Chains A and B, each alone.
Chain A
Amino acid sequence: MGISDVIPVPVAIDEEIEKWTIFGQPVAEVWFTTTEKIHQIIQMGPIKNIFNWGRKNSVYFLMQPMGCCGVEMFVFGAAPYDSDRFGCIPRNTPRQTDVMIISGYLTRKYLPVFKNLWEQMPEPKWCIAIGECAISGGPFYDSYNIVQNTGDYFPIDVYIPGCPPRPEQFLEGLINLQEKIKQRKDLREY
């Protein structure tokens, strides 16, 4: 990793900067040890709690209707159930979302696309599996085209059972996820 990965500079300048020194140390090394230290301090102290408070109260979900649960997801984001109350709004680009809602049957044809979407989301990110189909294949457990256990492919934080679950259950799942974020139980090895 060079400086140009952090700050946009041409590669030639990047190589030049690598040679610079400060306090007898290479500049790049000082930069990265400093940022590392900052990260460690953040992880330890009450700052992390503030971060988690922010993350907890601002959960944007990816609008991705896939099945019956997709319709309920639509209603969950709209006026009758109003997920915006919890700071949870739908976004359409995975780059700006924090939680992926698997809202229905995941087929073999769709799985590669879905993986791609998941990987486009920036860390930290969470995943909610909604409905029987996403949890275990549900009524389609013996179908030739359905991925039976989405947990094998995605690190799922909250399971919301139901076929389809009611929007109230969506809200409950969201609150559970918020609790999980707050308790810092979302730390995962990647």
Chain B
Amino acid sequence: MTTASEVLSSIQSAFPGAVSDARVESDRRLWATIDSNKILDVCKHLTNKLNFDHYSGSAGIDWIARNEMEVVEIMASHGAHQVVAMLKVKTPRANPSVKSLTGLYWNASWYEREIWEMLGINFEGHPELYPLLLSDPLVGVWPWRKDFKGYPDYTTGERAVAIPTPDGYTEYSFPPTQAEIEAGTVPTERPKYPTFLERETREIKSDSEMIMHLGPQHAMVPGPFLLDVLVEGERVKKAFLDIGYIHKGIEKIMENRTWLQDIVYTDRMCYVASLSNNECYCGAVEKILGLEVPERAQYIRVILEELSRIQSHLIGTGEFLTLIAGVGFAPWQYMIMDRERIISLIESVTGARLTHTFVRFGGVRNDLPDGFAEQCKKDLPYMRSRIEEFIELFAQDPIYHARMENVGSISPETGKRMGCAGPVLRATGVAYDMRKEDPILVYPDLDFKVITGTRGDSADRIDVRMREILESIHIIEQCLDRIPSGPIKTEAKIPKKVPAGEAYYRVEDPRGEMGMYVISDGGDKPYRVKVRGPFYATFQTLTPLLEGTYIADAVAIAGSMDGCPSESDR
């Protein structure tokens, strides 16, 4: 198995002088600062020679005290080894610009667009560097920079240009300042997201074509996002995706709250998977603090995360069923009914239906209530029989097969290249599960399989989710048998101020690999929290999948992704 130190020595021998300030945290984490001119070559080397075939995202950081900006490229592998390389590229703050990785990695596009609109770091060679999450007037305010003071800003008030709207309220726009234009790096006009009319005139070639909105308000969307499809008759010829309709700026807000308060915000990132979001954030902070979690707390966390996975898969599949069968379809109502049982199990522990704020640094908030294990032993076998029934129902339905089979198929290679996550990737046959790849808590002791599909189509994605529920039930039953008695919180005192440091922590969200990159500068608030969301990664693959399908298929494909726009927008 490749280890982090081997990776580091390989880079150092191939590119002498390119690496500065390297740190091998463990066998699985490598932190290295790379010369900004060499980053493309280093990435190529990692991908071609060392099996780093998983571009897992990038984070931008504004180091205002050091007067520089940093882009961190997160590189990992799809199962060949377990090293995560965090490659930092530095750039001066006055004129931030780094090389774009879009030429090497297909899925780098969104990450770089996000960093550009939030921090103003230019990416050289990015083909379509226009806003992703923000609306056009807000571009130029650079909200994630450390000197940003709010909207519309007090200190940069003179930069804001007020635009009264016909509806009687005021929008603000932030055009480039004179100083920025004189510096020469900023064009006088910032790139804008193409409007609908622009897109129509550019894309429509004949009278038989039209562009149709599926969203932001549409029966298909699980949360607002805009999917424009260019259709000719019933055929989708091209699709365009616009997200950010519920961008809340969670990453910025988390920088302005204390460490403990931030747990609340992780709940609201993906509201049907809030426990794994809690876990991801708390795990990262525990890593910086060097805290050990008591064994009982670890078991409680695992139980709740798996319960949360079950309810998330159930509501995701339920919503998907309404998309291909209409709201009158009875089995989706049965799924929601069954989900209520799981919800009440979770509620009996955490006291909330969706937003739990349950995990704490070094433990959990409270212990399992009396009778929880008995209730689980009643509900879980029932759940298993129900899920088996659902699997059989889908397997036997000829219309379901006609609708779903070979619809939106992804090959394993494409899935890896595009950076899909979770059940979408596993349906293609790639056994990539964080619980096995980057094991946390007591997962290494537990017996469970990684469920994979064979065709990678919509039917497989649903099937994988359904069989994952069975695995989750198996895990919970093991945990209930093994859970020891003992404390549920660590004995150590948790300081208000977290010592300076950084950590990258990955968990298996119901939607796939979720990572959080937490930086502390020794204060009582995080310096920066970067969320690498699983659906954000999967979401990008939607548009190429839709080309050449029917409209009805487009809805089925989007539904089988089990979307959570709230998490991708953050």
Contact = CB atoms under 8 A, between A and B. Distances in A.
A103 to B, nearest CB: 10
B355 A107 contact: no
A53 B183 CA distance: 67
B246 A67 contact: yes
Nearest to A166: B353
Contacts of A63: 219
A79 B334 contact: yes
Residue from A78, A80, A146 with most neighbouring chain B CB atoms (10 Å): A78
State the majority secondary structure of interface residues on B.
loop
A64 B271 contact: no
B217 interface: yes
B248 interface: yes
A67 B253 contact: no
B138 A144 contact: yes
Nearest to A92: B219
A59 interface: no
Interface string B237-251: 000000011111110
A70 interface: yes
A142 interface: yes
B336 A109 contact: no
B106 interface: no
A113 B315 CA distance: 26
Given A65-B222, A67-B246, A113-B217, A80 B319 contact: no
B264 interface: yes
Nearest to A77: B327
A78 B271 CA distance: 18
Contacts of A143: 248-249, 252-253
A139 B268 contact: yes
Interface in A91-138: 92, 94, 104-105, 107-110, 112-113, 115, 117
A3 interface: no
Nearest to A91: B219
B354 A62 contact: no
B218 interface: yes
A72 B271 CA distance: 10
5 contacts: A67-B223, A113-B217, A139-B253, A140-B250, A144-B138
Interface of A: 62-68, 70-72, 74-75, 78-80, 90, 92, 94, 104-105, 107-110, 112-113, 115, 117, 139-140, 142-146, 152-153, 163-164, 166
Interface of B: 134-135, 137-138, 141, 143, 148, 150-151, 165, 167, 169, 171, 216-219, 221-224, 244-250, 252-253, 256, 264-265, 268, 271-272, 315, 318-319, 327, 332-334, 336-337, 340, 353-355, 566
Given A71-B271, A144-B143, 20 more contacts: A62-B217, A66-B223, A66-B224, A67-B271, A68-B268, A68-B355, A74-B315, A78-B318, A79-B337, A105-B246, A105-B248, A109-B135, A110-B216, A112-B167, A113-B216, A113-B224, A139-B265, A142-B256, A152-B169, A153-B167
